Structure 1
Amino acid sequence: MARLPCLTPADLDAEQRALYESITGGPRANGPFALTDEDGRLTGPFNAMLVAPAVGAALQGLGAAVRYETSLSARIRELAILATAARWDCEFERYAHEPAALAAGLTPGQLAAIRAGNVPDGLDPAELAALRFVHDLLRKGDVDDVTYTATVSTIGNRMVVELTALVGYYATLALQLRVFRVGSP
């Protein structure tokens, strides 16, 4: 059972309404899952953003940036998101991102390997370096010098910064989804 009230559009004040419109009118509107239910309430992590709109707006902005404005390929992005979902056992993130991963060309077998916390076969060198980096980050909360150097030499500093921010963002969402008891629809 969800711990936060599920806000309908009629429940929103001006600050919440502006955030609601930036979420539902932004690039996420064309995503792989419905952002709202039949009553217009935001699904997944987005309802919590409305409860604290200043923090929610910052999170929404960061999420849009790491999802739509990085140099990460769609496959690397989805590998990292799903590895984060596996680490935190986040049902909603799997629900939301497995279709995006399949659309990016990952296979059901590769998704099963990621769900199990493993590195799947069939990744290119950049994907492999990025996923090894993400696995270290998620398991240790840090990345050793060998992994860091190998990752930077393969994908560059910019992508490493973007990848670290992406993992941090999706870890934040996974924790909020867990604390507020939000599952998949």
Structure 2
Amino acid sequence: MSPKALSRLPELLPSKLSPAQKKLYDQIAAGAKDSSGRPLKTRVNEETGGLLGPFNAFLRSPQLGADVALLAEHLRFGELECSQRLLEICILRTVQRTGALYALWSHQKLAAAAGVASEIIKVISEGKNAREECKSLLSTEEAAALALCDELLQPGMVVSEATYSAALAVLGERRGFEVSVTAGFYLLLSAVLKTFDVRPPEDLPQSKL
């Protein structure tokens, strides 16, 4: 990969796409929004028109890529009980642990837009314990969700009875499910980003991971 390349995969440009790929391309480009629904220019390379991040890889298998993209949209804009702020905190924790640079860069911005305090974003991005260092900034629900994510992200993904019971008491079954699906989805997305060595379009020091 050349120093300026953002991925191991060459960009698939709009003029070269099949009908199925073009349909997915349009859906992905239109779905770039912040938590309030405002359009963002974070998914398309403005110089070439190709898709950035994991989305360029999605085009290689349009049906599977469309299914993955749809789940991503549900997690951001679907009828969920978890707040977007809570989920963005869980996402940051997940992608920081996997070292998925593009997702960390992207969700630092999305977390800020969702109202996550800059100190929480900084602490999680540096791999520190936000439940200890940002205790006063986290709600009870956010702390419980982080505890659940922390155990899911350990080898073996063993969630202790104590952590589960605490999360259930605070989050309930539905929000506990939403947190576990969010962590699982961003593990999946990290697998794509790491396989194809997808990098953010802005410098993000490795020391933050």
Tell me the TM-score normalised to structure 2 length: 0.82
Partner of 2:153: 138
Q: Deviations over 1:81-135 (max 9, x none)?
A: 1001111111111111111212222222212221214123220100110111111
Question: Which digits, 9 at most, give the CA deviation of each residue in 1:165-184, with x for residues without a partner?
Answer: 11111111112111101100
Q: 2:95·2:103 contact (CA, 8 Å) conserved in 1?
A: yes
Q: How many correspondences in the alignment?
A: 185
Q: In structure 2, give the amino acid aligned to 1:134.
A: C
Give the counterpart letter for 1:94 in structure 2: L
SS at match of 1:136: helix
Q: Confirm or deny that 1:36 pairs with 2:44.
A: yes
Distance 2:31 2:112 in 1: 22
Contact 1:32 1:96 in 2 (8 A): no
Q: Which amino acid aligns with 1:49?
A: F
Q: Is the 8 A contact 1:32 1:100 kept in 2?
A: no
Name the counterpart of 1:125: 140
Cα offset for 1:76? 0.8
Runs of 5+ consecutive residues of structure 2 not aligned to the other structure: 2-6, 202-209
Identity fraction in percent: 33
Partner of 1:4: 9
2:91 is matched with 81
Deviation at 1:27, TM superposition (A): 5.7
Quick one: distance in 2 between partners of 1:126 and 1:114?
17
Instruction: Choose from 41, 57, 73 the match for 1:48.
Output: 57
Which secondary structure state, in structure 1, belongs to the residue aligned with residue 158 of structure 2? coil
Deviation of 1:52 (Å): 1.1
RMSD, matched Cα: 1.7
Give 1:169's aligned residue: 185
- Rounded to whole Å, the distance in 1 between the matches of 2:176 and 2:11 is 36
Give the TM-score, by structure 1 length. 0.93
Structure 2 residue 22 is matched with structure 1 residue 14: no
Aligned match for 2:168, one of 125, 137, 152: 152
Going from structure 1 to structure 2, the CA distance change for 1:31 and 1:139 (only over 3 Å counts) comes to farther
Which residue of 2 is the match for residue 68 of structure 1?
Answer: 77
- 1:135-166 Cα distance to aligned partner (Å, 9 max, x none): 11111413111111111110111111111111
**Amino acid corresponding to residue 90 of structure 2 in structure 1:** A
Deviation at 1:18, TM superposition (A): 1.2
